[in-house]
Amino acid sequence: GAGVSQTPSNKVTEKGKYVELRCDPISGHTALYWYRQSLGQGPEFLIYFQGTGAADDSGLPNDRFFAVRPEGSVSTLKIQRTERGDSAVYLCASSLTAFTRDGSPLHFGNGTRLTVT
Q: Which residue ranges make up the site for another protein (CB under 8 A)? A: 4, 31, 33, 40-45, 48, 50, 55-56, 91, 95, 98-111
Closest approach, Cβ 43 to another protein, in A, equals 5
Q: Which is nearer to another protein, 2 or 14 (CB)?
A: 2
Q: Which is nearer to another protein, 14 or 105 (CB)?
A: 105
Closest approach, Cβ 16 to another protein, in A, equals 28
Q: List C-alpha distances in Å: 69 to 15, 23, 50, 116.
A: 26, 9, 9, 25
Closest approach, Cβ 52 to another protein, in A, equals 15
Beta partners for residue 50, in sequence order: 31, 53
Sheet strands (E) in the chain: 5-7, 10-13, 19-24, 31-37, 44-50, 53-56, 65-68, 75-79, 88-95, 107-108, 112-116
Q: Which is nearer to another protein, 14 or 58 (CB)?
A: 58
Closest approach, Cβ 69 to another protein, in A, equals 14
Query: Distance (Å, rounded) from C-alpha 56 to C-alpha 26?
Result: 20
Q: Which is nearer to another protein, 6 or 82 (CB)?
A: 6
